[in-house]
């Protein structure tokens, strides 16, 4: 599947920019823009995108309630979604709006109250039910777009059904008579399977419209299929199709529902797409099968594998959100399923003081670990990625202590990228982080705390907080101004931000107390006097 980051048109619909799109009784939440810059289920570096991104032209555009509802949750973080609002709709679903600049005044007040109680800019507060005073009607103002969190200015928009992210565009129905496009199909035998394998290309011959005949597949082993596909759609950019299935005759052998993402299930992004193709060719090649996990004593067949076929018809079917369909017809001869040819997963990958818990990830069976020194390892082979995140643990040597140590990953372009340590208050003899892809990982020392600069401007205070070694731990940042709790609005891209106070700051000197730590656990406090002009 071609990676879906191409913008084809300036408009999503033929309607004018002032017209609000309605469908399924929902109101389009961003009246001043319908231009998509990111689609649902797009592949990202470590997950499938759980919503759509809308262009905001670098302006603070109003976000309105798509239906009657109430504020269910507010969260603020300098990473991820930034300032995000979870709005419970009257039908029980939840609309999510991320990367906001500010909320409607009542919601903004709720956010500030929670921040003051916690004492940090980062907060996450869940509200019990609709008896809250923050109830809104369809079309009411909820917030304004911005660039908080990660990424350029845009609005991230989701619709959730409990813990399942669903394609929000399914709720809006512009005319769509365009079939999905299948740009490639390939196949592989069981004994040839590896995490980087892309299969043997099938020659496609158009029969009519979006119906294709593929060249015959012949193997003495069980075989499986890969696909590259996308939906041109009516929204001005390529999209991930809603459903992809493999049928043997009329029987479904494998089915992928791309229009829903279960947040409680495993992410498994690189169990579903080939990481090496995305890394080197900016291309999504999707596996239409589960990676084999059978042990020698098991005869279970992994889903999607085609076996014991003698020239039988197999169909690869792609369906978009409007029901338009594209198909490839194949004639497949495949041998018996032989679990002895498939690797087993599980266990632990160890080297020196490092270990990776592999769990039940089928891709982990191909993982390798090599020591590059007492504090550095390489996880391979080349272009390797796990199916999901795994925990990498480093056991402390004699004389080492937790404050002052941090994890890093070496960048291909040079230098290091600091990794977040997993929070474990009971751990005293080890530290851990999450890993997803192969590469060089290590543990380094940092014994210098962050550096702070506080400045006074026209009626406000601003700060800059830096740490050139392990990086700033934003969850540690706290502040008081003139003895009252204040909120330091730290954003990573800006290396700081304004200091919010619940009362206006008059001209003259103000006493500022500041606390912060870096990701190696080095803490520091400051007492400074800053003059506001």
pLDDT score of 327 more than 70? yes
Of 71, 67, 74, 117, nearest to 90 by C-alpha is 67
CA distance 100 to 120: 18
Average the pLDDT over 407-432 and give the result.
87
Of 380, 472, 83, 53, nearest to 236 by C-alpha is 53
- How are beta strands 154-161 and 123-126 bridged, if at all? unpaired
CA distance 437 to 419: 13
Q: Residue 90 in 3-state DSSP? A: coil
Q: What is the 3-state secondary structure (H, E, C) of 260-324?
A: EEECCCCCCHHHHECHHHHHHHCECCEECCCCCCCCCCCCCCCCCCECCEEEEEEEEEEECCCCC
Q: Most confidently modeled of 129-138, 398-407, 500-509?
A: 500-509
* % helix, strand, coil for the chain, step of 5: 10, 45, 45
Whether 73 and 49 have beta carbons less than 8 Å apart is answered as: no
Average the pLDDT over 273-282 and give the result.
93
Of 391, 363, 380, 389, nearest to 274 by C-alpha is 363
Tell me what pLDDT residue 2 has: 38
Whether 379 and 389 have beta carbons less than 8 Å apart is answered as: no
Beta bridge partners of 454: 463
Backbone angles phi, psi at 97, to 5 degrees: -125, 120
Q: Is 185 exposed, middle or buried (0-12, 13-18, 19+ CB in 10 A)?
A: buried
Token pair in block for residue 346: 């599980």
CA distance 228 to 187: 12
Tell me what pLDDT residue 117 has: 93
pLDDT score of 300 more than 70? no
Lowest mean pLDDT across 93-107, 141-155, 410-424 = 410-424
Average the pLDDT over 387-412 and give the result.
91
Residue range 454-468, pLDDT digits in tens: 999 889 999 999 999
Confidence of residue 266 (pLDDT cuts 50, 70, 90): confident
Strand arrangement, sheet containing 484-488: 451-456, 461-466, 496-500, 484-488, 472-481, 508-518, 523-532
Whether 227 and 256 have beta carbons less than 8 Å apart is answered as: no
Average the pLDDT over 212-235 and give the result.
96
CATH of segment(s) 451-532: 2.60.40.1220
**DSSP code for 41:** T
* pTM: predicted TM-score of the whole model, two decimal places: 0.89
Overall fold of domain 22-171: Glucose Permease (Domain IIA) (2.70.70)
Give Cβ neighbours of residue 531 (< 8 Å, ≥ 6 apart): 456, 508, 509, 510
**Which secondary structure element, helix H or strand E, spans residue 143, and what is its range?**
strand 141-145
Q: Is 203 exposed, middle or buried (0-12, 13-18, 19+ CB in 10 A)?
A: exposed
Beta bridge partners of 416: 410
pLDDT score of 192 more than 70? yes
Where are the chain's structural domains?
22-171, 181-341, 348-445, 451-532
Mean pLDDT of the chain: 90
CA distance 261 to 325: 22
pLDDT score of 244 more than 90? yes
Tell me what pLDDT residue 267 has: 79
Q: Is 264 exposed, middle or buried (0-12, 13-18, 19+ CB in 10 A)?
A: exposed
Residue range 100-117, pLDDT digits in tens: 999 999 999 999 999 999
Strand residues in 49-122 grouped as ranges (E): 52-55, 62-64, 69-76, 83-89, 94-103
Q: Is 374 exposed, middle or buried (0-12, 13-18, 19+ CB in 10 A)?
A: exposed
Token pair in block for residue 416: 């290091």
Confidence of residue 360 (pLDDT cuts 50, 70, 90): confident
- How are beta strands 325-334 and 211-214 bridged, if at all? parallel
**DSSP code for 29:** S
CA distance 243 to 58: 34
Residue range 3-37, pLDDT digits in tens: 333 333 333 333 333 334 444 589 999 999 999 99
CA distance 173 to 164: 21
Whether 406 and 421 have beta carbons less than 8 Å apart is answered as: yes
Q: Which residues of 5-29 are buried (b: 16+ CB within 10 A; e: fewer)?
A: eeeeeeebbeeeeeeebeeeebbbb
């Amino acid at each position: 599947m071609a990676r879906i980051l191409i913008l084809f048109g300036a408009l999503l619909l033929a309607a004018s920019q002032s017209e609000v799109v309605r469908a399924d009784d929902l109101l389009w939440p961003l009246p001043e823009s319908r231009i998509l810059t990111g689609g649902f289920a797009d592949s990202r570096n470590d997950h499938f995108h759980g919503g759509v991104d809308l262009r905001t032209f670098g302006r603070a555009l109003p976000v309105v309630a798509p239906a009657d509802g109430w504020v269910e949750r507010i969260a603020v973080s300098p990473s991820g979604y930034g300032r995000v609002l979870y709005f419970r709709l009257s039908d029980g679903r939840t609309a999510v709006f991320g990367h906001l600049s500010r909320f409607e005044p009542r919601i903004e007040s709720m956010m500030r109250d929670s921040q003051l109680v916690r004492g940090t800019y980062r907060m996450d507060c869940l509200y019990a039910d609709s008896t809250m005073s923050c109830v809104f009607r369809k079309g009411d103002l909820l917030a304004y777009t911005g660039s908080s969190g990660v990424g350029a200015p845009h609005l991230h928009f989701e619709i959730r059904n409990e813990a399942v992210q669903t394609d929000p565009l399914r709720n809006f129905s512009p005319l769509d008579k365009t079939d999905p496009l299948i740009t490639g199909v390939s196949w592989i035998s069981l004994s040839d399977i590896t995490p980087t394998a892309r299969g043997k290309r099938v020659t496609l011959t158009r029969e009519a419209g979006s119906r294709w005949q593929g060249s015959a597949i012949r193997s003495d082993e069980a075989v499986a299929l890969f696909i590259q596909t996308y939906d041109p759609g009516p929204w001005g950019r390529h999209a991930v199709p809603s459903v992809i299935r493999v049928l043997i005759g009329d029987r479904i052998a494998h089915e992928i529902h791309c229009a829903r993402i279960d947040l409680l299930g495993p992410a498994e992004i690189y169990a579903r797409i080939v990481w090496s193709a995305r890394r080197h060719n900016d291309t999504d090649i999707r596996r239409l099968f589960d990676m084999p996990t059978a042990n020698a004593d098991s005869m279970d067949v992994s889903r999607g594998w085609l076996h014991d076929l003698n020239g039988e018809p197999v169909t690869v079917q792609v369906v978009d959100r409007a029901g338009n369909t594209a198909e490839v017809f194949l004639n497949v001869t495949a041998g018996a399923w032989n679990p002895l040819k498939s690797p087993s997963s599980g266990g632990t990958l160890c080297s020196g003081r490092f270990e990776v818990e592999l769990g039940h990830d089928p891709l982990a069976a191909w993982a390798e670990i090599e020591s590059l020194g007492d504090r550095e390892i390489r996880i391979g082979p080349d272009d390797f990625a796990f199916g999901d995140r795994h925990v990498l643990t480093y056991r402390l040597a004699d004389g080492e202590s937790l404050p002052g140590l941090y994890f890093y990953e070496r960048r291909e372009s040079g230098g290091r990228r600091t990794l977040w340590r997993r929070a474990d208050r009971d751990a005293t003899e080890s530290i851990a982080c999450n890993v997803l892809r192969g590469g060089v990982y290590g543990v380094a020392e940092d014994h210098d705390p962050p550096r702070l600069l506080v400045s006074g401007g026209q009626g406000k205070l601003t700060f800059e907080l830096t740490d050139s070694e392990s990086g700033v731990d934003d969850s540690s940042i706290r502040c008081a101004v003139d003895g009252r709790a204040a909120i330091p609005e730290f954003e990573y891209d800006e290396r700081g931000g304004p200091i919010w106070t619940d009362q206006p700051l008059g001209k003259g000197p103000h006493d500022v107390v500041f606390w912060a730590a870096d990701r190696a656990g080095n803490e520091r406090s400051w007492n400074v006097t800053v003059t506001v002009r």
